[in-house]
């Protein structure tokens, strides 16, 4: 693997916050950030964080982004259809599920299907997997065979479609597209333990039947 991945469950519901480091260049990115904690600050010490890459705009994945950006100066990347969640506490569900507003900020770069994000020698392709939210994405490192799946795909399960912006039909389509990806991938999910695409093809009934 050309990237090193460190994982910390952070924030009110323990969303996985990933520190991804391109081993060739030493550059890092943080994927989602449920809270900016002393532990995360300590893990980032000495690292150059180029990007904060968000899998979608829900509060549990973005509550730490404001402070993380202040601390690192990293560029905040999110799909265009979830970009409003960064400054709208209704859209991010912060009010609805967490009972308070988040600190608003703007994306530095909005993403669309097929975009490429270069982190040193590592390239992440953006796949817009609608269903959990309109702007949900997978970040796919094809060469390194790694996917960050946010709340779209979980080990043995998939993300809720009953929240605002969720859509069953679109989720089904997204699961089909994920299943159709070539070969195997290590999958780092938005919550709970990681998995692989091969495992999910075999054992995830939702992926099997999609
Ligand atoms: Zn979510
Ligand atoms: Zn979540």
161 CA distance to ligand 1 centroid (A)? Answer: 9
16 in Cβ contact with 8 (< 8 Å): yes
Split at pLDDT 50, 70, 90, the class of 1 is low
Domain ranges of the chain: 3-208
Q: How far is CA 59 from CA 52, 56, 85, 121, 154, in A?
A: 15, 9, 8, 31, 18
pLDDT digits (tens, 9 = 90+) for 45-60: 999 999 999 999 999 9
Average pLDDT of span 107-134: 98
58 CA distance to ligand 2 centroid (A)? Answer: 7
46 CA distance to ligand 1 centroid (A)? Answer: 30
Neighbours of 180 (CB within 10 A): 8
88 CA distance to ligand 2 centroid (A)? Answer: 17
Q: Give the chain's mean pLDDT.
A: 97
What pLDDT sits at residue 209?
86
Q: Which one is the CATH code of 3-208: 3.30.420.40, 3.20.20.150, 3.40.50.150, 3.60.15.10?
A: 3.60.15.10
Average pLDDT of span 114-127: 98
151 CA distance to ligand 1 centroid (A)? Answer: 5
CA 121 to chain centre: 20
Neighbours of 24 (CB within 10 A): 12
102 CA distance to ligand 1 centroid (A)? Answer: 15
pLDDT digits (tens, 9 = 90+) for 145-165: 999 999 999 999 999 999 999
pLDDT digits (tens, 9 = 90+) for 91-113: 999 999 988 899 999 999 999 99
DSSP 70: H
């Amino acid at each position: 693997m050309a990237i090193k991945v460190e994982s910390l469950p952070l924030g009110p519901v323990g969303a996985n916050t990933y520190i991804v480091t391109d081993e060739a260049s030493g550059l890092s990115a943080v994927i989602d950030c449920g809270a900016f904690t002393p532990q995360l600050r300590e893990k980032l010490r000495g690292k150059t964080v180029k990007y904060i890459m968000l899998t979608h705009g829900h509060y549990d994945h973005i509550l730490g982004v404001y402070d993380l950006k202040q601390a690192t100066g990293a560029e905040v990347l999110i799909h265009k259809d979830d970009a409003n969640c960064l400054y709208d506490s209704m859209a991010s569900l912060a009010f609805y599920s967490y009972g308070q507003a988040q600190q608003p900020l703007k994306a530095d770069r909005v993403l669309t299907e097929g975009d490429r994000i270069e982190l040193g020698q590592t390239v992440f392709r953006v796949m817009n997997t609608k269903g959990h939210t309109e702007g949900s994405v997978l970040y796919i490192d094809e060469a390194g065979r790694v996917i960050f799946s946010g709340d779209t795909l979980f080990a043995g399960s998939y993300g809720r479609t009953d929240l605002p912006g969720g859509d069953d039909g679109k989720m089904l389509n997204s699961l089909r597209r994920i299943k159709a990806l070539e070969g195997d991938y290590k999958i780092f999910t938005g919550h709970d333990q990681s998995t692989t695409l091969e495992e999910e093809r075999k054992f995830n009934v939702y992926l099997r039947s999609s």
